[in-house]
Structure 1
Amino acid sequence: MRKHYLIEVAQNDQLIVFCPSNLIQDKQIKRIAFGSKSMDVEFFPHPDKNDRIVISRKIQETIQFPYFKVPLHAFLEDEVLYLGPLVGIFTAGFTSYPEQPIGERTLFFAKLLSVNRPVGALAFVFGEKHINWESGTIEGYFFEENVWHTVEVPFPNVIYDRLPNRKSEENPKLIKVRNRLQKEYLIPWYNPGFFNKLDIYERLQQDSSVTAYLPETFPFTSFSSIETMLSKYGHIFIKPKNGSLGHGVHQVIYDKHTDDYYCRYQDEAGVNRLRKYSSLERLFQSVFAAQSLDRMLVQQGIHLLRNDQRSVDFRVHTNKDENGEWQVTAIAGKIAGQGSVTTHARSGGDIKTIGEIFPKEEAEIYREKLSNAALLLSKALDKNIEGIIGEIGFDLGIDRNGDVWLFEANSKPGRSIFSHPELKEFDLLTRKLSIAFAVFITEQSLLHPEELFK
C-alpha cells in the first residue's frame, strides 16, 4: 500500500529536504520535483518524524508548491523525489464570479476536489485561458476549507478531462491545448472525448467476450431495413449517434395485427408523445421531417423487465482504482416516466436501488449479472479505444429472459443517480477513484512510460 506524507514548510532558505529515513534509506536522491518543476537539493533523514517531509520556504517557492495541508505521495525515480500527484482537471465554462467560478458546475467540482486528502493528491481545476506557456505554469482553482483559491502552480503530472460537452471538445483552441500538453510536455491525459454510439458498437463487435450484450445496431440506411427490424423485434429505437441525456430518442412500434405504426418520443416542449400512423413513410414524414437521418442509428428493441408497468434499465458506473484495475462503483435502477421513451429523470423517470425494485434473492442475481457485464465491457472498451480511460457510465437493460443488454456507454457519465439518498456513499467512491486513478497514472508515467504512451 502506498503511503501519504504530510509536507511541512520550514521558514528558512536552505536547500535541504528532511524525509522519513525509511523513504530515502540506501537511495541516491539529488533532486525534488513537484509537477513539472524540479531542483537540486540535499536530502537528510528526519530525526523523529516518519509521516512527513520537510522542505524549506526557498524550495517551496522554487517548485511552486502551494501550502495546503494535504498529505501526498512520494515517488522515487532516477535520483528524483516526486511529490504528488499534482492533478489538473481541464474544463471550460468559467465565469467571473469568485464564488461560482465554473458556473452551475461549481458544486460538482467542489465535491470532486474534496477527495484530495483521503486520496493523497492535489487536484485543481483549470481552463485554456489559465495556462502561461512561457513560464510553464497554470493559474489553478483549488477548493480548500470551503473556499475557492487561485494559485499559480507548475504544469501537472496528469490531466483529467472534464470538458462539459461535445461543442467544447470540438473547439479548435481546446484541441490545440490538449495536443500541446500531451505531445510537447508528455502529460498523460485521461478520459478524453465523448463516445460515439455507433463507433462504440462497431469496436465492441470485434471483441467476442462482449458481443452477447450488444443489441443489433446500424446506421440509418433505408425504410426496408427498418421494416425488416420491426418484423423481427416488434419495436426499434432510433437515436442520434452523438446524443446524450435521452435527447432525440424515438421508439417505433409495429402492430402486426392492425398493420399500424406507433412512434413514442418527447417533443421540443418536453411533452411525452405517442402517435399512430398507417405507414412507416407517413411516420417518418411527420416525425423526422426536420431531422437529418444520416446522423441517426437504428437499434433493436428489447422487451425489458418492468416495475409497476414501467420499463426499467440500469446505470452502472465503473472506475479504475489506484492500481489501474476496473471496479464497479455504483448500480442504480432507472424507471421510465409514464409514457416516456427513456428512463431519464427529465422525462418523469425515477431512480431506485436494485433492492427497492426486486426481492432480495432476485436483486442479488441481477446485481451480479450487471456487475459482470459492466466489468467485461469496461475491459473491452479499454482495449479497443484510443487514449486512457478511467471511468465509464453504462446504460444496461435486462430482458424478460434475464439477459443483459448494452444500450449506451458514456465516457463522462452524468451523476443524477446520486440524488438517491442510499447512493451517496457511491457518489463519494466514484469521485475518490476518479482522482485516485491519477496516482496510478503518475506512477506509471515515471516508472513505465513506455506502457502509458504506447
Structure 2
Amino acid sequence: MRKRYLIEVSPNDQQVVFCPPAIIKDKTLKRLAFGSKSIEVNFLPHPVKNDRIVISKGIQEDLQFPNFDIPLHLFIENQILNIGPLIGIFTAGFTPFPLRPIGERSLFFSKLLSVKKTVGALPFVFGEQHIDWEQGTINGYFFHDENWKTIEVPFPNVIYDRLPNRKSEGNPKLKRVKDRLQNDYLIPWYNPGFFNKLDINERLQQDSTVAGYLPETFPFTSFSLIETMLSNYGHVYVKPKNGSLGLGVHQIIYDKHQDEYYCRYQDEGFVNRLRKFPSLEGLFKSVFAHQNLEKMLIQQGIHLLRNASRPVDFRIHTNKDDLGDWHVTAIAAKIAGPGSVTTHMRSGGDIRTLEEIFPNELCILYTEKLTTAALLLSKALERNMEGIIGEIGFDLGVDRNGDVWLFEANSKPGRSIFSHPELKDFDLLTRKLSIAFAVFLTEQSLLHPEELFK
C-alpha cells in the first residue's frame, strides 16, 4: 500500500511547509500544489512527526484546500510537492435541494464519495454550471460527516465521467466542457462515453485474444439475414445498438416443425409478451411497426445454462486499481423472470451468487471461466477503444457446453446486483477502486504524461 500523510493546518500565515525529513532529503522543493493550484513556499523538515505535512492557515487558503483530516498521497515532480489527488466527478441532473443535490442519485454519489478516507483522496461532484473558468475553480459538492457541503476548489487532478445517460453525453454544452478540460487543461478524463454494442463487437472481432467470446452480430439489413441466422441457431436477438437496461430487446424463435415464428419481448407497459406469427415479415410488421430497424442489431441466440428452467447470465464488474491493474471486483448470476426475454430485475429477474446456484466444483469452474474472460475482455477493450477506461460491467453468458459469450459491455455499469446482501462487500470494493484508479492517473499525469496523452 502506498504511504499517505495527514495534512495538518496550523493557525499562522507563514509560507513554510514542514515535512517528514525522508520526503525532502536530497530534493530541492520550491512549490506546493493541490489540484491545478500551486504556490511558492519554503520546505523544512518536521522536527518530530513522520506521518504528516504541516501547512499554515495562509497556505491552506491560498491553495483552497479543504481540511477533512484525511491522509493523502504525495507526488513529487519538477521541484513541486503535489498533495491529493483532488478528483472531480462530472455529472448532470443537479437540483436546488441541499439534502439531495443530485436528485435520486444523491445516495449513490454519497456512497461513492464516502471511500475517500480508505483511498486517500478528495473526490467531489460537479456539473458544468459549477465551473468558474476565469478563476480556474469549481464550486464542488463534497460529502463529509454525513452531510453535503459545497466548497470552492481548484480544477482537479483527474475527472471521473459519471454523466447519467446518452442524452446528457450528447449535450453540446457538456461536450464543450469535456473538450476544454481535457485539451486546454490536460486533465485526464476517465470512463468517457457509453459503449455502442455494434461498435464494440466490430472492434473486438479484430482482436484474436477475445474474438472467440463474441456471438455473431450484424446490423439489421434484411429478413434473409435473420432467416439464415434462425436456421443456424434456432433463435436470435434483435436489440437496439445503443440500448441499456434490457429495453427494446426482442427474442425471435423459429419452430421448424410447425413452420411458425415466435417473438418474446416486453411491451410498453413492461408486460412480458410471447406472440406467434405465420411469417417473419408479419412478425416485424406487427411488433416493430413503430421502430427504426436501422438502429437495431441482430445477434446469434445462445442456449444458456438454466436454473429451475429459467435462463441465467452473469454480471461481472472489472476495475483498475491504484497501480493501473485490472481486477474482477464482483460476479453475480442473473436469473430471467418467468417469460422474460432478459434477466433484468425490472422484468422479474433474480440476483443470486454463484454459490447459491451451483454445486462447489461447478461454482469454482464457472468463476474461473468468467474471471478469465472478463479480464481478457477488459484489456482488449482498453487496447481497442479511445479514452481512458477504469471500470466495465460485462453481461456474459455460459452455454450448455460451458463456453463463455459476451452479450454486452457497459462503461457505466448499473448497480442492481448489489441489492443482494451477499454482495455488499463487492459494492464497496467497486466504489473504492473506481476512485483509487484516480490515484494512478494523477501519478501518471504528473510523472509520465507522455504515456497518458500519447
Deviation track 1:362-383 (CA, whole Å, cap 9, x = no partner) reads 0000000000000000000000
> Which residue matches 1:265?
265
User: Equivalents in 2 of 1:69, 1:249: separation in Å?
Assistant: 49
**CA–CA distance in structure 1, aligned partners of residues 445 and 76 of structure 2:** 12
AA in 2 matched with 1:149: K
State the match for 1:130 in structure 2.
Answer: 130
Determine if the alignment matches structure 1 residue 109 to structure 2 residue 109.
yes
Identity %, equivalent residues: 76
* 1:189-208 deviations in Å (ceiling 9; x for gaps): 00000000000000000100
Question: In structure 2, what residue type is equivalent to 1:45?
Answer: P
Q: Deviations over 1:151-176 (max 9, x none)?
A: 00000000000000000000000000
After TM superposition, give the deviation of residue 2 of structure 1 in Å: 1.6
Aligned to 1:324: 324
Q: What's the offset of the Cα at 1:354?
A: 0.2
Could you tell me which runs of 5 or more consecutive residues in structure 1 were left unpaired when the two chains were aligned.
Answer: none
Q: How does 1:168-179 map to 2 (within 5 A)?
A: 168-179=168-179
| Cα distance in 1, alignment partners of residues 22 and 51 from structure 2 | 10
Find the residue that maps to 1:450 and give its secondary structure: helix
1:36 is displaced (CA, Å) by 0.5
Q: Secondary structure at the match of 2:365?
A: helix
The AA in structure 1 aligned to 2:270 is G
Query: How many angstroms apart in 1 are the aligned matches of 2:284 and 2:189?
Result: 42
Per-residue Cα deviation, 1:339-375 (whole angstroms, up to 9, x for no partner): 0000000000000000001001100000000000000
Of 61-70 and 309-318, more deviation after overlay is shown by: 61-70
1:138 aligned partner, one-letter code? I
Superposed displacement of residue 68, structure 1: 1.2
Q: Secondary structure at the match of 2:343?
A: coil
Please report how far the alpha carbon of residue 70 of structure 1 lies from its aligned counterpart in structure 2 after TM superposition. Answer: 1.5
1:191 paired residue number: 191
Q: Give how far 1:280 is off.
A: 0.2
Q: Give the counterpart letter for 2:105 in structure 1.
A: R
Give the superposition deviation at 1:22.
Answer: 1.1
Q: CA deviation at 1:24?
A: 1.2
1:251 paired with 2:251, answer: yes
For residue 67 of structure 1, report the CA deviation from its aligned partner: 1.3
Deviation, 1:265, is: 0.1
- Tell me the residue number matched to 1:54: 54
Q: Which runs of structure 1 show a deviation greater than 3 angstroms over 4 or more consecutive aligned residues?
A: none
Q: Deviations over 1:112-158 (max 9, x none)?
A: 00000000000000000000000000000000010000000000000
SS at match of 1:351: strand
The code of the aligned residue for 1:425 comes to: D
In the alignment, what sits opposite 1:416? 416
Residue 69 of structure 1 is matched in structure 2 by: 69
Using the TM superposition, give the Cα deviation of residue 239 of structure 1 relative to its aligned residue in structure 2, in angstroms.
0.3
Counterpart amino acid of 1:395? D
Matched, 1:223 2:232: no
SS state at 1:406 partner? strand
Match of 2:348 in 1: 348
1:228-250 deviations in Å (ceiling 9; x for gaps):
00000000000000000000000
- The alignment's TM-score, normalised by the length of structure 1, stands at 1.00
| Structure 1 residue 451: Cα displacement | 0.4
Provide the C-alpha distance between the structure 1 equivalents of 2:225 and 2:208, rounded to a whole number of angstroms: 25
* Cα distance in structure 2, aligned partners of 1:211 and 1:184: 37
1:357 equivalent to 2:361? Answer no
Deviates more, 1:180-189 or 1:64-73: 64-73
Number of the residue aligned with 2:399: 399
Please state how far the C-alpha of 1:43 moved relative to its aligned partner. 0.4
Determine the structure 2 residue equivalent to 1:33: 33
Question: What letter is aligned with 1:90?
Answer: F
- Residue 376 in 1 paired to residue 382 in 2? no
Matched, 1:88 2:88: yes
TM superposition shift of 1:26: 1.1
1:92 counterpart SS class? coil
Cα deviation for residue 334 of structure 1 reads 0.1
What SS class does the counterpart of residue 245 from structure 1 fall into? coil
Partner of 2:16: 16
Amino acid corresponding to residue 60 of structure 1 in structure 2:
Q
Query: Alpha-carbon deviations, 1:20-46, whole Å to 9, x = none?
Result: 111111111000000000010000111
Question: In structure 2, what residue type is equivalent to 1:289?
Answer: A
In structure 2, the gaps of 5 or more residues are none
Deviations along 1:34-66, whole A, 9 cap, x unmatched?
000001000011111111100001101111101
Partner of 1:335: 335
